[in-house]
Amino acid sequence: MSLPQDPMILYSFINTQLRDEYASLEEFCKSNHFDMEQITQTLGAVGYEYNRELNRFA
């Protein structure tokens, strides 16, 4: 699986995965061999931060 390159599509994709399949961003990244730092930087650049309590980017 590859991640969407567009930050807005990435935001939607990851939040959907977190809501439907994974208990945390860490679990999502480990299960799919993604770089969590890269994801948080990409989404942070467009104003989104990961909220552990809500398990989503907002």
Q: Provide the pLDDT for residue 36.
A: 98
Using an 8 Å Cβ cutoff, are 46 and 9 in contact? no
Q: Provide the pLDDT for residue 33.
A: 98
Radius of gyration of the chain (CA): 10
Q: Provide the pLDDT for residue 27.
A: 98
Mean pLDDT, 10 residues at a time, the chain of 58 residues = 95 98 98 98 98 98
Q: Provide the pLDDT for residue 2.
A: 93
Domain ranges, ordered by start, for the chain: 12-57
Q: Provide the pLDDT for residue 1.
A: 80
